[in-house]
């Protein structure tokens, strides 16, 4: 029996969406944000189309008892083709420069081959699942192993240093290096991996964490299959997940919070698999009691990997419990289980890691929330915004249609929960008014929740694509046309998610996610020649590299330490003496990121572009006589006031 409230909401949602769009337009005009209106309208169009596509699809009684057969492929031939193009992909990655996209073009072909297999008559789930994981792994390694030093949003740099300390000392990092001494599991894992592989910390980190993240495809597939009992739908969801741009990015940016996300996905699978029937449990290789033990171990894992992820995961699990309770369906998240992470987290934070609570105190200052600050700069507007968000547009269309259909159809009944969470995932992961509010993005960090909701976004989109394909095959459209249309949509989604037609903005030329070889050579020179304890002034990315604090065993372990400062636009250096590290080539060809070094300040980021005025300011500040080292990428200056 359906829940009438959700069914009625699904029926009127397309009309509510139009009213919300009109209200949004009025709001943008009132606050004089025409750019928000233009970009918001671009996102609103696929949302409205997707919601009205739901109206068309619900009129047909779609059959979910049989698989959708659009293509006719031989499994062995498909595997051979996949293997051939996978080899081409690896060769393209090895033989082309780090910035080349030739290897990503072959990744698109891999996506197409996988999708054809999923919608074919002779489907072999295990083979397809392995191919999805291999494709995701290759995509991740393309971004992490090819540059001289990939750093993403820069957190990789200090985590690499802390892993090095753990590797050399054989202990968790000391308290002088921060509160990660209470959350050491990530650094221990990377250090042990480096020992086992016999590779340096940086390479080991990228290789091992890339493999670990790729395993999330496996857990998501089994999690969804437990709910839908449909291998084809589960594989489409897994493929859409692996192709998602944010999923790919977090696969490359495998820091502590991403590792906690992996634990969260494993935890969800364990919780959902615990509610299988007794008949299934008898033949299961892992008994329910063992699974319960694994659940507790996973909670400990998340708690010891990242500080703030566990409370956020508890909130999300609480939402799951409330939705499950309302739908009167199987309860996967029980009150008894919820007490496990709550009690463990509260005990650990209050009695062991209590010093971390002090770091959260500034974010509770009510003065930060008195005046809502919106992002002033829109680096992409209109056509460029559209070109850079092709994948997002497809996500909005299919995910919204899928989420509404799940809420309306309610087969299985638990699909209501997935539909509601899928809708929340769209709000968190798609550009909208929430992502323009400084307090939400930088202070409350809703992007952390966006990461946790990625599986539900994939469920909504994958289900939306599945019912769309069933709707097309049930109509009078020739099957060949349906096949061409579906494969074109998947390839277009891949093109957008891989950024193959991305429009670069001159205003964002200062942003980057890696250092080149010349810069790494220059940094090594600084580490070898600049005395420990010196003050270093540089741009944001460089200062993160040199965030190497002093602790009592620094000299014994041979680890240099510095006081690293983030320079302001005025180029002032408060210290009497120190060193300035200038990435001259990056400055001339894109610009640098200076700032206040305070993420709670809306004016924290200060782009320093290569304008004539800025070039003259640097020339006045830095003289040739003060330069003590220079290569193509790095200039090192010594000053003494």
Question: pLDDT tens for residues 10-23?
Answer: 889 999 999 999 99
The whole-angstrom distance between residue 41's C-alpha and the CA centroid of its chain comes to: 25
| pTM recorded for the entire structure | 0.93
* Confidence band of 283 (pLDDT split at 50, 70, 90): very low
Residue 535 in 3-state DSSP? strand
Mean pLDDT of all residues belonging to the chain? 88
Q: How far is CA 497 from CA 19, 104, 146, 490, 534, in A?
A: 30, 11, 19, 10, 43
**Quick check: 579 and 525 in contact, CB under 8 A?**
no
Return the DSSP state at 173.
Answer: P
Residue 566 in 3-state DSSP? strand
Question: pLDDT tens for residues 494-512?
Answer: 999 998 887 766 556 788 8
Residue 605 in 3-state DSSP? strand
pLDDT of residue 334: 87
Q: Which of 402, 418, 421, 419 has the alpha carbon at shortest distance from 465?
A: 402
436 vs 423: which has the higher pLDDT: 423
pLDDT of residue 368: 67
Strands (DSSP E) along 97-185, which ranges?
149-150
Q: Which of 260, 248, 241 has the alpha carbon at shortest distance from 454?
A: 241
533 vs 448: which has the higher pLDDT: 533
What the block records as the tokens of 217 is 């495809």
441 vs 506: which has the higher pLDDT: 441
pLDDT of residue 585: 93
Is pLDDT at 599 greater than 70 in this prediction?
Answer: no
What's the whole-number mean pLDDT along residues 570-597?
87
Q: Which of 84, 129, 383, 126 has the alpha carbon at shortest distance from 237?
A: 129
What's the whole-number mean pLDDT along residues 618-640?
91
Instruction: State the pairing for strand pair 577-582/535-538.
Output: parallel
pLDDT of residue 278: 42
Q: Which of 161, 164, 168 has the alpha carbon at shortest distance from 556?
A: 168
What's the whole-number mean pLDDT along residues 421-437?
86
Return the DSSP state at 531.
Answer: P
Residue 124 in 3-state DSSP? coil
What's the whole-number mean pLDDT along residues 512-539?
95
Residue with tokens 């810069």: 519
Return the DSSP state at 591.
Answer: -
Q: Which of 565, 476, 597, 494 has the alpha carbon at shortest distance from 244?
A: 494
Q: What is the dihedral of CA 303, 306, 312, 317, to 10 degrees?
A: -40
pLDDT of residue 379: 66
What's the whole-number mean pLDDT along residues 176-185?
92
Question: pLDDT tens for residues 443-475?
Answer: 677 878 899 999 999 999 999 999 999 999 888
Residue 537 in 3-state DSSP? strand
**Quick check: 192 and 206 in contact, CB under 8 A?**
no
Q: How far apart are CA 251 and CA 427, in angstroms?
A: 22
* Angle of helix 4-30 versus helix 34-58 axis, rounded to 10: 160
Q: How far apart are CA 19 and CA 44, in angstroms?
A: 11
What the block records as the tokens of 336 is 């008894």
Q: How many residues are there in the chain? A: 641
**Quick check: 611 and 382 in contact, CB under 8 A?**
no
Is pLDDT at 101 greater than 60 in this prediction?
Answer: yes
Dihedral sign, Cα of residue 105, residue 108, residue 112, residue 118: positive
Q: How far apart are CA 365 and CA 596, in angstroms?
A: 19
Top-ranked range on mean pLDDT: pick from 277-286, 506-515, 578-587: 578-587
User: Could you check whether the bond before residue 412 is cis, i.e. omega within 30 degrees of 0?
Assistant: yes
What the block records as the tokens of 354 is 């209590």
Residue 606 in 3-state DSSP? strand
Return the DSSP state at 60.
Answer: S
DSSP one-letter string for 274-337: TTS-HHHHHT-SS-HHHHHHHHHHHHHHHHHH-TTHHHHHHHHHHHHHHHHHHHTS--SS-HHH
pLDDT of residue 507: 55
**Quick check: 313 and 299 in contact, CB under 8 A?**
no
Q: Which residues pair with 150 in a beta bridge?
A: 514
What's the whole-number mean pLDDT along residues 367-391?
74
68: how many CB neighbours lie within 10 A of its CB?
A: 24
Question: pLDDT tens for residues 203-258?
Answer: 999 999 999 999 999 999 999 999 898 999 999 999 999 999 999 999 999 999 99
The whole-angstrom distance between residue 398's C-alpha and the CA centroid of its chain comes to: 20
Is pLDDT at 581 greater than 80 in this prediction?
Answer: yes
Contact partners, residue 74, CB within 8 Å, separation at least 6 = 122
638: how many CB neighbours lie within 10 A of its CB?
A: 15
User: What's the N-to-C CA distance of the chain in angstroms?
Assistant: 79
Strands (DSSP E) along 374-463, which ranges?
none
* Confidence band of 279 (pLDDT split at 50, 70, 90): very low
Q: Which of 251, 261, 262 has the alpha carbon at shortest distance from 156?
A: 251
What's the whole-number mean pLDDT along residues 312-318?
93
What the block records as the tokens of 162 is 């802390």
Q: How far is CA 42 from CA 203, 394, 455, in A?
A: 41, 12, 25
pLDDT of residue 79: 93
């Amino acid at each position: 029996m359906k829940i009438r409230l959700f069914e009625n909401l699904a029926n009127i949602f397309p009309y509510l969406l139009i009213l919300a769009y009109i209200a949004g337009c009025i709001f943008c005009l009132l606050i004089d944000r025409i750019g928000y209106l233009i970009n918001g309208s671009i996102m609103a169009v696929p949302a409205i189309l997707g919601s009205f596509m739901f109206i068309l699809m619900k009129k047909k009684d779609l059959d979910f008892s049989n698989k959708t057969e659009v293509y006719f492929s031989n499994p062995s031939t498909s595997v051979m083709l996949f293997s051939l193009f996978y080899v081409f992909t690896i060769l393209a990655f090895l033989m082309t420069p780090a910035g080349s996209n030739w290897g990503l073009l072959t990744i698109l072909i891999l996506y197409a081959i996988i999708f054809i297999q999923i919608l074919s008559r002779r489907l072999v789930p295990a083979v397809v699942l392995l191919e999805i994981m291999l494709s995701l792994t290759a995509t991740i390694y393309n971004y992490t192993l090819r540059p001289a030093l990939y750093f993403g949003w820069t957190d990789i740099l200090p985590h690499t240093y802390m892993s090095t300390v753990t590797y050399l000392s054989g202990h968790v990092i000391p308290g002088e290096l921060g509160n990660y001494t209470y959350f050491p599991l990530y650094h221990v894992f990377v250090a042990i991996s480096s020992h086992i592989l016999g590779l340096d910390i940086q390479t080991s980190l990228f290789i091992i964490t890339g493999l670990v993240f790729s395993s999330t495809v496996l857990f998501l597939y089994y999690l969804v299959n437990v709910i839908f009992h449909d291998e084809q739908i589960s594989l489409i969801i897994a493929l859409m997940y692996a192709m998602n741009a944010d999923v790919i990015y977090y696969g490359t940016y495998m820091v502590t919070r991403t590792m906690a996300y992996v634990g969260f996905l494993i935890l969800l699978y364990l919780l959902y698999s615990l509610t299988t029937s007794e008949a299934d449990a008898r033949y299961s290789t892992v008994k329910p009691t063992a699974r319960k033990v694994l659940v507790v171990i996973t909670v400990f894992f998340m708690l010891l990997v990242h500080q703030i992820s566990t409370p956020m995961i508890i909130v999300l699990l609480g939402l799951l419990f409330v939705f499950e309770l309302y739908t009167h369906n199987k309860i996967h998240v029980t009150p008894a289980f919820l007490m496990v992470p709550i009690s463990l987290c509260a005990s650990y934070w209050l009695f062991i890691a209590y010093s971390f609570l002090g770091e959260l105190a500034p974010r509770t200052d009510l003065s930060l929330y008195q005046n809502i600050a919106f992002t002033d700069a829109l680096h992409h507007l209109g056509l460029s915004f559209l070109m850079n968000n092709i994948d997002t547009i497809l996500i909005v269309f299919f995910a919204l249609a899928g989420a509404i259909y799940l809420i309306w159809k309610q087969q299985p009944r638990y699909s209501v929960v997935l539909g509601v969470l899928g809708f929340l995932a769209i709000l968190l992961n798609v550009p909208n008014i929430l992502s323009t509010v400084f307090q939400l993005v930088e202070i409350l960090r809703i992007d952390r929740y966006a990461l946790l909701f990625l599986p539900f976004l994939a469920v909504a989109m994958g289900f939306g694509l599945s019912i769309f394909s069933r709707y097309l095959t049930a109509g009078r459209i020739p099957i060949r046309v349906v096949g061409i249309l579906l494969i074109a949509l998947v390839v277009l989604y891949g093109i957008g998610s891989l950024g193959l037609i991305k429009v670069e903005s001159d205003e964002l030329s200062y942003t980057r996610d890696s250092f080149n070889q010349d810069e790494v050579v220059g940094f090594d020179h600084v580490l070898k020649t600049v005395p420990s304890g010196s003050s270093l002034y540089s741009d944001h990315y460089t200062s993160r590299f040199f965030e190497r604090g002093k602790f009592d065993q620094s000299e014994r372990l041979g680890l240099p330490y510095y006081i690293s400062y983030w320079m302001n636009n005025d180029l002032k250096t408060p210290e009497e003496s120190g060193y300035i590290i200038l990435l001259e080539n990056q400055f001339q060809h894109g610009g640098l990121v200076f700032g206040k070094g305070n993420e709670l300040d809306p004016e924290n980021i200060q782009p320093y572009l290569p304008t004539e005025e800025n070039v003259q300011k640097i020339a006045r500040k830095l003289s040739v006589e003060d330069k003590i080292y220079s290569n193509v990428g790095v200039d090192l200056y010594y000053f003494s006031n």
